[in-house]
Amino acid sequence: MDPILQVKGLKKYFPIKLSFFDSIRGREVQYVKAVDGVDFDINETETLALVGESGCGKTTVGKLITRLIDPTEGVITLKGIDVATLKGDDLKAYRKEVQMVYQDPFASINPRFRIYDVLEEPLLIHGIGESISEREELIFRALEEVKITPPEDYIHRYPHMLSGGQRQRVSFARAMILEPSFIVADEPVSMLDVSIRAEILELMKELQQKRGLTYLYITHDISTSRFFAQNIAVMYLGKIVEMGDVREVIDNPLHPYTKALLSAVPEPIPERRDMIKEIPIKGEVPNAANIPSGCRFHPRCVIAKDACRHEEPELVDRGNRHYVACPYV
């Protein structure tokens, strides 16, 4: 199966603005290296889970793919088209094809808009629906598809009048109304109650099967990846440190960081709790403007060697397309 999305050598550096005194002293501009050389492919109708702690750069990857921000370096291709070169009408068409669902639906939906206005706005921007009745039919259909029923009871409400789960369903309706082929879902269930998370993930799977969607599923919760994704990439401080089939990586984690993430997941079955060995890691994620030399995980790693301070490891296939960036596992 050919990949629908290919990312090669993707980088995004944000310059840190110098103060007046720093500039007259001739200090060099520093950069926050949010994404620092990322490669992955996503096959059509499949899901890649991009997992990591807050600050690892995974949301920035999503914004780069949707062209909300431009890359510093690297190539993003969707269906063979170089995304970075798109301008004008081509970029507008691309943004119809690739939609993003955000973590906090209350922040991503205009609080002054009724639900009808929220869903009509993308139709007006892209010139879809020649009449009010046509657009209304599309809005009703989109709400029914995400199980906001009956839609006539909701279209005149404001976002604050809905529950968190209902607002996130409206976010999906807004994305789906343009009939995209690719969805970047940035922590789509992390703001929801546990009881609602499974419902939203089930809805996402239903939409994927019905519409033939492809997802980049961004999350810090590695436990939901097994349920929802086919492949997984574990990201740390701007780089991918482990990647492969989601069951292979979760059942047989190799990188110490992946093991630490998995050991932090609560185990509901009492008999299995003693089987899980907790992997300690030290401290917090380092500042992305001052990345450690060598392996960027070595200051927190319990198996770090002296060479880890000087040599940056590369992703290497350990078999079964299971890639890991650590030579000591």
pLDDT, tens digit, 9 for 90 and up, residues 229-274: 999 999 999 999 999 999 999 989 999 999 988 887 766 555 554 5
Note whether residue 329 is domain-resident. Answer: no
- The two tokens of residue 312 are 């940056």
Identify the pLDDT of residue 111: 93
pLDDT 10s digits, 54-68: 889 999 999 999 999
Measuring CA to CA, which residue among 235, 227, 234, 233 is closest to residue 208?
A: 227
Share of the chain above pLDDT 90, in %: 68
Asked if the model's pLDDT at residue 44 lies above 90, the reply is: yes
Asked if the model's pLDDT at residue 172 lies above 80, the reply is: yes
Any idea which residue has 């993707």 for tokens? 10
Among the listed ranges 39-53, 113-127, 219-233, which one has the minimum average pLDDT value?
219-233
Note whether residue 205 is domain-resident. Answer: yes
Identify the pLDDT of residue 319: 87
- The two tokens of residue 74 are 């690297």
Neighbours of 19 (CB within 10 A): 10
Q: How many angstroms separate the CA atoms of 244 and 316, rounded?
A: 11
Identify the pLDDT of residue 281: 74
Note whether residue 272 is domain-resident. Answer: yes
Q: What is the band of 296 on the pLDDT scale with cuts at 50, 70, 90?
A: very high
Identify the pLDDT of residue 255: 94
Share of the chain above pLDDT 70, in %: 92
Mean pLDDT over each residue of the chain, to the nearest integer? 90
Contact 217, 133 (CB under 8 A): no
Note whether residue 7 is domain-resident. Answer: yes
Helix, strand or coil for residue 65?
A: helix
Q: What is the band of 275 on the pLDDT scale with cuts at 50, 70, 90?
A: very low
pLDDT 10s digits, 305-327: 889 999 999 999 998 899 999 99
Query: Residue range 194-209: average pLDDT?
Result: 91
Asked if the model's pLDDT at residue 16 lies above 80, the reply is: yes
Note whether residue 228 is domain-resident. Answer: yes
pLDDT 10s digits, 84-97: 889 999 999 999 99
Note whether residue 24 is domain-resident. Answer: yes
Q: How many angstroms separate the CA atoms of 323 and 326, rounded?
A: 9
Residue 94's CATH number: 3.40.50.300
Query: Residue range 212-219: average pLDDT?
Result: 96
What is the count of structural domains for the chain?
1
Among the listed ranges 175-189, 203-217, 280-294, 297-311, which one has the minimum average pLDDT value?
280-294
User: What is the extent of the structural domain holding 231?
Assistant: 3-295+303-324
Q: What is the band of 73 on the pLDDT scale with cuts at 50, 70, 90?
A: very high
Note whether residue 148 is domain-resident. Answer: yes
Q: What is the band of 277 on the pLDDT scale with cuts at 50, 70, 90?
A: low
Note whether residue 261 is domain-resident. Answer: yes
Q: How many angstroms separate the CA atoms of 38 and 8, rounded?
A: 6
What are residue 242's phi and psi, to 5 degrees? -155, 145
Identify the pLDDT of residue 266: 64
- For β-strands 316-317 and 323-324, DSSP reports them as antiparallel
Identify the pLDDT of residue 279: 64
Query: Residue range 23-42: average pLDDT?
Result: 85
